[in-house]
Amino acid sequence: MSLRFVFGRSGHGKSTYCFNEIKKGIEKKEGNRFILLVPEYLTFSSENTLLHTVSRDEDFRGEVLSFRTLGNRIFTEVGGLSHRHINSSGRSMLIFNILSSLSDSLKVFSKSSAKMGFIPDISNILKEFKRFDIESSEIEDVASSINSETLKGKLQDISKILDEFNERLHGGYVDEEDEIQLLARKIPESSYLSGAEVFVDGFEGMNPIQLKVLEEIIKKAKRVTVTITSDGLSRSSTNWDLFTSGKDFEENLLRIAANNGVSYEKPINLNDANYANRFSDSTELAHLEKYAFKFPFVRYKDETKDIEVFTASNLYSEVKSAAKSIVKMVRENGYRYRDIVVATRNMDRYESLIDGIFSDYNIPLYIDKKKVATENPIVVLLLSALEVQRRRWSYEGVFTYLKSGLIDIDGEDINLLENYVVENGIKGKRWFKPFETYSSIRIDNTDNERENELLERINLTREKVITPLNNFHNSLKNSKTVRDMCRTVYDFLLSIGVDSKISSMIDEFNNLGDILLSREYSQVFDILIDILDQTVEIMGDDSMKVSEFVELLSVGFSECCIASVPSVIDSVRVANVDRMRNQSAKVLFILGVNDGVFPAPIVDEGIINDIERSEIKLAGLKMDLDTREKSFNEQFLIYSALTSASEKLRLSYPISDHEGKTLRQSIIIHRVKKVFPRIKQESDLIDLKDDDIENITSISPTFNSLVLKIRKYNDTGYIDPLWLDVFRWFKRNEDYSDKINSILEGLLYTNQVKKVPRDKIRQLYSGNRFSVSQLETYSKCPYSYFVKYGLKAKERREYGFKALEIGNFMHRVLEDFSGVIKKEAEDIREIEKDWIQEAVGVIVDNMLEALPQYVLNSSARYKFLSIRLKRLIVNAIWVITEHIKAGEFEAVGYEEGFGPHDRFPPIVIELEDGEVVELVGKIDRLDEATIDGSKYIRIVDYKSSKRKVSLSDIYYGLQMQLLVYLDAILESYEKKDTPVAPGGIFYFKLDEPLLSTDGNITPKEAQEKMLEEFRMEGLLLKDMNLALAMDSSLTSKSKIVPVSIKKDGEFSATSNAVSLEDFNILRSYVKGLISKLCSRMLSGEIEINPYKDKDESPCEWCEYSPICQFDISFKDNSYNITKSISKEAALDKIKEEVEMDGK
């Protein structure tokens, strides 16, 4: 038995030396076994290399093994397979169960133990102690000698958890660390390694239990050869150099050899020998390997051809540039895809981009990354089915389950149910009662025939959803042990046909040629069953709450990963930098060489921080590296990555991320540029090769480039003749001919819409009767009106009591209150606040009692809101009564409609072509007063938010409502020959204002401030007697209407009052404006042309923006600019328009 080292820096042929030695040994046919021991992730590539190195091995004497597969060989011979292996999922579930039982007895980790994120942390520290062969008794001894109470408590908690973990585990399972320790104990009993030559390659170091195994191998084997990545035996003068980990590994093995009397053979130093190495064909890469991390270094004088730095404008262009380079290398330089590796230090950032862009370029690729099992629909289905009960049948829980794609319910039925659940806030016990009303947020509880049909269909879907889930949850609840729960889960999956669905999906993926997805789904069901099996084996007879069982399975699945292998041999390998250590490639692309990413910062210290680690080490326990030492290892990782290419190396970095935030280049780029001052550098920041033939690569990206060229041609009128040839090629191609035609049509595309034929528009608008709010919508944006009232598109309503619902509710209560006044013949001037409060209370209570499904009945929160709304409405009505008491106007009508079947007739307007339209509406309140023998009317409209009457908005057609209401009443009186004049038009805000004061105020002062806050906004007739009839206490600024009086008794300039002539002009103007709007509307004009006043536009809150996609950068998209103008200027313009129309 002997030990031999093979030294060599990266790329100097250590692995090649081992393979060649194995080949020579096998060719001698002396009968002994040759074993190559490598890390698990290197087994596949090493087996492949051995297969190609050794041409014939009839006796199968050459093998590539990892610690795990070596264990299988030894255990098969001498025993040790009676215990089942527990994987990371089983381990995490066991730790979860242990933490649940020990949480009360833990000193430091008691609160943390309940958090899901704590399980990986405690799992890692347990692994570390087991890998360093530390027993719980040793941890206790160290804890007793530690002064820090916090650290002492941590160690005592860890010791307690480790004890419990080992006790439960060793009943029938072993974990990875136990297997390695068992392997070390079993090797002396085995003859498998006797006389064997063992080559240990690919390890930069080993933990203590691995060293134990290697010690037994050294004692048993004929010779053990270990490769060490190092520049030799000498250490640097500092505590750390690039090869520290390798040299530590070497010293540990020398100590083992000395302790066991193993002879030490002369080492093989490949650094100084004339062995062929990785960089034989590239002096540049050889120079990089030698000087990239050496101080002082030697500059490379020539321009580089094999090393390149690429600066990208963003991540997308970085990946696209790499794809183009790969296609060119394969097409023009004779490379195979398998010769190329793409690496990154941040796979999460690049994975989807690489997958999508490389697919466009038809580059076969294998992404060397394990997929998290919780992303698979099968696992999503199970976990969501379990979560539904725990989350009280919430929307998220139920529809995550339904949208897994594995439920036998029609997709349209699921969508209908989803819309209903969202609108009505269905959760908890409401799922188990038939849905009785179509909408619980409407104040009107009357469902139409179509809604009743939909409701019946929705209830049928509800039954299909709740029946299997309810049976499943009841079975879980009745399960006495974890074993019963696991059996229930398995039965549930079979009952909904998951097994047959998976089989069908696997067959479908195979038929489509998607081997990766086929393998994934094949693995997932096995993983699921394995987790259930491990749960039963470890804690099957335990009792557990359903909620704990759900958390237990969630923990298990969160640790599961789905492995994949390349679907084709000739493919580009994409890997994280730490997954490609010691693997060579002819060409290497390293993406994302940015500061803070490459090298990656080491910030996570774990549950034992660096200071605590130092204390533990001083107390005599050897532990893993701290963050400082890990950061040194990160440098070695970068060195290994940079030196893994044998022919070409391309470093690239983006200067901005996907959000446009600036990214800086890594210090590695700076270092490489120093070593290679004339390094080849390229960038896409300035497109110097806009029409270069290099942009013509694979079909799909070339077509995308052609689209950009055509678009540019459309703007500039020029296109390079090269791209004309490309255009002709695609035009002749059957697969792309139609796409080319679509592109040409797209050049003329505009989202602007054409006029709709008159006959069709009439069918959509259902007649010639319109409300004022409809006309205002059309004036704001014709297309928005068309979608809302023509296509009748509706946004999905969400459960809640928002501004619209609050406004409808308050209007309904006010309408009912006016009915009470009429019925009881009460004089509004005589009623008191207490009477108002009682009447409103009765109205609201009766309303809620009649609507049991109404949103305000759904929870204590909403019931409290109804109490608040009562108070708000009571205050509003009290203010209304105070307004009436303060003047001579009387309320003569509430919710007065004007239309064919209302008290007042509709407004009839004849259009230019002779066609007649009717305007209908409903007036919240109509007031009358007789002053000096003349009758005046006042229109009041209730609003839930503050609003003023603006003559500027009236001019632009954005505010016509109150004037139309006024006109409807005046016209009606005029037809009866009853003289009447406009008194005013006003908005009254239904709100609960907050009163601000400098100190304490009396109740009377509070009432005065309340009246000020509730002052009506609007426009009144410029008549002092009329103003006093509205506010008899008017002396300066009115608290009721928007006027104020100067000292000379005249209206101030800020008063919102106009003459009778101006009122009539406004009426006439609005009528003319409505006539024009109706003519445009009925002629089919529906252009996308929203108004804009400064920064205000209806697009900001329009629910139809995703439909029209209005964008001023699009052709024919522009705003209808409405510049706010003063009251005087607006009135002048209105007069001009009326005069013009009169001519």
- Residue 931: give its domain's CATH number: 3.40.1350.10
Place of tokens 């069908």: 504
Between strands 572-576 and 340-344, the pairing is parallel
- Banded model confidence at residue 274, pLDDT cuts 50, 70, 90: low
903-931: average pLDDT: 91
Residue 238 counted as domain residue: yes
List Cα–Cα distances, 29 to 56, 222, 347, 819, 1120, in angstroms: 11, 16, 46, 110, 92
Last residue of a domain, one of 510, 537, 562: 562
Q: Are residues 441 and 497 in the same domain?
A: yes
Q: Is 1108 in contact with 751 (CB distance < 8 Å)?
A: yes
Residues 954 and 1029 in one domain: yes
Question: What mean pLDDT do residues 386-404 have?
Answer: 90
Q: Is residue 496 part of a domain?
A: yes
248 and 315 together in one domain:
no
- Segment 614-627 shows an average pLDDT of 84
1030 vs 1057: CA distance, rounded Å: 13
Rounded to whole angstroms, how far apart are CA atoms 778 and 763?
Answer: 17
pLDDT tens-digit series, residues 544-562: 888 888 888 888 888 888 8
Rounded to the nearest 10 degrees, what angle do helices 627-642 and 244-259 cross at? 110
| pLDDT of 151 over the 60 cut | yes
148 & 185 share domain = no
1108 is in an annotated binding site: yes
- Whether 806 is in a domain gets the answer no
Mean pLDDT lowest among 21-35, 188-202, 841-855, 1033-1047: 841-855
Phi-psi region of 640 (alpha: psi -120 to 50; beta: other; left: phi over 0): alpha
Comparing 470-484, 489-503, 613-627, the range with the smallest average pLDDT is 613-627
For residue 967, being part of any structural domain is answered with: yes
Select, from the ranges 232-236, 512-516, 883-887, 981-985, the one with the highest average predicted confidence (pLDDT). 981-985
**Do residues 422 and 547 both lie within one domain?**
yes
Q: Is the pLDDT of residue 667 over 90?
A: yes
- The structural domain count of the chain equals 6
Q: Would you list the DSSP string of 954-982?
A: HHTTS--HHHHHHHHHHHHHHHTT---EE
CB atoms within 10 A of CB 312: 24
Shared domain check, 983 and 886: yes
pLDDT at residue 1028 in the model: 93
Mean per-residue pLDDT, 238-264: 86
Residue 560 annotated as binding site: no
Dist. CA 258–CA 253, nearest whole Å: 9
Among 126, 146, 170, give the residue marking a domain's end: 170
At residue 236, does pLDDT exceed 60? no
Q: Which domain holds residue 443?
A: 372-562
- 1102 annotated ligand binder: yes
- The answer to whether residue 237 scores a pLDDT higher than 50 is no
Pairwise CA distance, residues 221 & 1, whole Å = 6
Angle in degrees, CA 372, 375, 379, rounded to 5: 100
Structural contact between residues 1108 and 791, judged by C-beta atoms closer than 8 angstroms? no
- Is residue 379 located within the same domain as residue 441? yes
- The rounded distance, in Å, linking the Cα atoms of 605 and 617 is 16
Q: Tell me: do 923 and 1056 sit in the same domain.
A: yes
Q: How far apart are CA 54 and CA 25, in angstroms?
A: 10
Residue 882 and residue 1025 in one domain: yes
Q: Are residues 382 and 460 in the same domain?
A: yes
624 pLDDT more than 90: no
**What six digits make up the tokens of 977?**
């020959």
* 960 contacts 950 by C-beta, under 8 angstroms: no
Question: Could you give the CA distance from residue 722 to residue 818 in angstroms, rounded to a whole number?
Answer: 79
For residue 64, the SS3 value is strand
For residues 472 and 385, the answer to whether their CB atoms sit within 8 Å is yes
**Distances in whole angstroms, Cα of residue 12 to Cα of each of 21, 229, 292, 340, 1026:** 15, 9, 16, 20, 103
**Domain stop point among 1065, 1082, 1110:** 1065
Beta bridge partners of 776: none
Where residue 211 sits, what CATH number does that domain have? 3.40.50.300
Q: Is 23 within a domain?
A: yes
What is the distance between the alpha carbons of residues 997 and 1010, in angstroms, rounded to a whole number? 12
Residue type, 779: S
Q: Copy the structure tokens of residue 469.
A: 């889930």
Q: Is the pTM of this model over 0.85?
A: no
Question: Is residue 1107 in a domain?
Answer: no
Query: Among 13-17, 327-331, 693-697, where is mean pLDDT lowest?
Result: 693-697
pLDDT over 90 at 752, yes or no: no
726 and 742 co-located in one domain:
yes
Contact of 646 with 285, CB cutoff 8 Å: yes
* Type of residue found at 970: L
Q: State how far the Cα of 992 lies from the Cα of 875, in Å rounded to an integer.
A: 8
Helix (H, G, I), strand (E, B) or coil at 425: coil
- For 776-797, the pLDDT digits (tens) are 999 999 999 999 999 988 888 7
- Return the pLDDT at 275: 58
Q: Are 665 and 595 in contact (CB under 8 A)?
A: yes
What are the tens digits of pLDDT across the range 113-127? Answer: 888 788 888 998 999
Residue 859 lies in a domain: no
Instruction: Give domain status of residue 773, yes or no.
Output: no
Report which residue type is found at 774. Answer: Q
Question: What pLDDT score was predicted for residue 692?
Answer: 65
**Cβ within 8 Å of residue 273, ≥6 positions away:** none
Same domain assignment for residues 239 and 327: no
Whole-number pLDDT of residue 930? 93
Domain with 554 in it: what CATH number? 1.10.486
- pLDDT (0 to 100) of residue 526: 87
Other beta carbons within 10 Å of 90: 23
Kindly report the average pLDDT of the chain as a whole number: 87
**Residue 310, CA distances (Å) to 55, 335, 649, 653, 679 in order:** 41, 20, 11, 7, 11
Whether the predicted pLDDT of 735 surpasses 60: yes
Give buried/exposed letters for 588-602 (b at 16+ CB in 10 A, else e).
Answer: bbbbbbbbebbbbeb
Instruction: Give buried/exposed letters for 22-42 (b at 16+ CB in 10 A, else e).
Output: bbebbeeeeebbbbbbbbebb
Rounded to an integer, the average pLDDT of 185-198 is 93
